[in-house]
Amino acid sequence: MPTKKTIKTKTKKKTTGKKTSTKKKTEIKKTKKVSKEKKYFEAVGRRKQAIARVRLFACSPFEGDQGKITINQKPYQNYFQTLELQSIVESALKKMKSLNRFTVSIKIIGGGIKGQAEAARHGLSRALTNFNPDFRKKLKRAGYLKRDPRKIERKKPGLKKARRAPQWKKR
């Protein structure tokens, strides 16, 4: 491993009476540089107010690596409790028949639980197309690459919600 040496010098001045003396102190620090970064493919997925940043690491199944999905440093089974949400997240990998081929790290912020699951699927699909452009055709046909543009409609003045009018009174 490459080592890096840094040398710091400190000077101290002592004043005692008329004499002034300086002392030099030298420190040597050894820092080890770890350069074992894995290559990954990154993409961003969005749905409603949820934003998911997906990093896709390629696994080598010959070395015994198992693909796993972590969301905000938790296994996706713990983050998404229901089977429906879990299947939404892993559907892009299942479509490409590569569930154990990749290790996936996802960071999700904002939105509700369903929007977060669909944002993760959107980001995962984009990362898979960055990994291999041939995956694009299948994922596009399944509708995973299109960002779902539906959002919550804003509340209008004079109404209780976006379209809900207050109850009508005869008198």
CATH of the domain at 46: 3.30.230.10
The count of structural domains within the chain is 1
Asked whether residue 131 is domain-assigned, the answer is yes
Contact partners, residue 140, CB within 8 Å, separation at least 6: 146
Residue 118: band (very low, low, confident or very high) from pLDDT cuts 50, 70, 90: very high
One-letter amino acid at 124 equals L
Asked whether residue 31 is domain-assigned, the answer is no
| Beta bridge partners of residue 103, listed in sequence order | 57
How confident is the model at residue 144, as a pLDDT?
94
Asked whether residue 167 is domain-assigned, the answer is no
The string of pLDDT tens digits covering residues 47-100 is 999 999 999 998 776 666 677 899 999 999 999 999 999 999 999 999 988 888
Asked whether residue 75 is domain-assigned, the answer is yes
Q: Does pTM surpass 0.95? A: no
